[in-house]
Structure formats: structure tokens, C-alpha cells
Amino acid sequence: MPNDIDLSNYFYNSEVLAKKVLEIYFSEKIPSYPIDPFDILSYFDVLYQFRDFKDLEGIYILSKDEDDIPIIGINNNRPITRQRFTAAHELCHHLKDRSSDFFCPINGIKNDVEKFADKFASELLMPTKELEVQVKKLEQNGYIDFTNIIYITDYFGVSFESCVFNIAYNIGKIEGDIGPKEIRKRIP
């Protein structure tokens, strides 16, 4: 990726930033699914490695100076769906947070920077417009059942839980009580 592309005009909204990244990445091509976040990292000239982390999903290490390079570490002990999400999450840090005094908390508490990166990753891997298209193909009576969601998770290469939550909260196509605790009880 040419380093002269300025994405700062899109930093106000994680979903808008993700859409712009996909637009740049796919350029004139039709997007294909599942989206490959590792290829997008390579496109943006970000080195990544899989590591045996005990407590971290991933990490973004800023470059110290002009002679250094940033690097992303991804936990190789996690399922591929989680590794893909982590790659997209860390890409967000590379694009948005590399010139700030960003520090990723490792205590499990999500600050606003982490929440932004999570939303970015979700939109990058499972764009809302495409999610709506896929749900529409499988919905019955205005909703999609959990059995059919498995096809959508496969299409996007994401976890079942993340797909359920996106369908429930972003497009409102899960019937019944969709409170976080209640919906988790319904996930097989």
C-alpha cells in the first residue's frame, strides 16, 4: 500500500474506516468472502507473526523510529476465526493509533480505543451491507434462525457468536429476547 494514503478523515467512526479500507483494498475488484485480513495486513505493509501467547489475543508493536517497522503478533493457540478477528483488530491500531500515545491494555478491560478496533474488525470481516444481503437470502418471516446462521458464519469466516450478535444488534433479525445474557443462553 502506498504510505501516502491519509485515512485520518475516517477515524471518527470505526465502520466508516473499515468500509474505506475495503474500498481501497478491493479497488475496482468485486469483494470476495471471506475477506482475508492477513492479505490486507500485507497490502498495508504490516508484518505479522503467529506467536504462542498465554494471555493475549494479539499485540500491535509500534515502530520506534523511521528505521524500525511495526509488527503484529497473533495468538496461534486460538481458533482461526479469532485469529482473523485479531488480525483485523490490530490492523485498526496500525492505521489509526500508530501516531498516538496508544497503549493496548492487557488487563482485559476494553477502553474506547479497543472498542473502536473491535467494531472496525467486525465491520471489516462482516460488512453490514453484505450481512444484510446474506441474511435476506435465509430469513423466514422477517428473522433468521440459529440453524441458518451457521451458513453465514461460514460465508464470512467469523465465529458463530459474533455473527449472532451482529445480526441481532446491527440489523435486528434475531427473533425474541436479544439481551446479551439471554442471547448467549440461546447460542449452542
| Poorest-pLDDT segment among 79-83, 103-107, 138-142, 179-183 | 103-107
CATH number at residue 111: 1.10.10
The pLDDT of 47-72, averaged and rounded, is 87
Give pLDDT tens digits for 131-186. 999 999 999 999 999 999 999 999 999 999 999 999 999 999 999 999 989 999 88
Q: Are residues 58 and 113 in the same domain?
A: yes
Q: Are residues 105 and 66 in the same domain?
A: yes
Q: Are residues 140 and 86 in the same domain?
A: no
Q: Are residues 149 and 121 in the same domain?
A: no
Q: Are residues 102 and 47 in the same domain?
A: yes
Q: Is the CA virtual torsion 153, 155, 158, 163 positive or negative? A: negative
Q: Are residues 103 and 34 in the same domain?
A: yes
Q: Are the beta carbons of 38 and 63 closer than 8 angstroms?
A: no
Residue 74: how many other CB atoms lie within 10 Å: 26
Q: The domain containing residue 157 runs over which residues?
A: 128-186
Q: Are residues 14 and 93 in the same domain?
A: yes
pLDDT value for 105: 57
Q: Are the beta carbons of 135 and 171 closer than 8 angstroms?
A: yes
Burial of 181 (0-12, 13-18, 19+ CB in 10 A): exposed
Give the global pTM.
Answer: 0.91
3: in domain: no
Give pLDDT tens digits for 29-51. 889 999 999 999 999 989 999 99
Q: Are residues 120 and 135 in the same domain?
A: no
Q: Are residues 46 and 106 in the same domain?
A: yes
With a cut of 50, say whether residue 1 has pLDDT above it: no
Q: Are residues 60 and 137 in the same domain?
A: no
Domain tally for the chain? Answer: 2
| Poorest-pLDDT segment among 63-67, 84-88, 104-108, 179-183 | 104-108
With a cut of 80, say whether residue 101 has pLDDT above it: no
1: in domain: no
pLDDT value for 170: 93
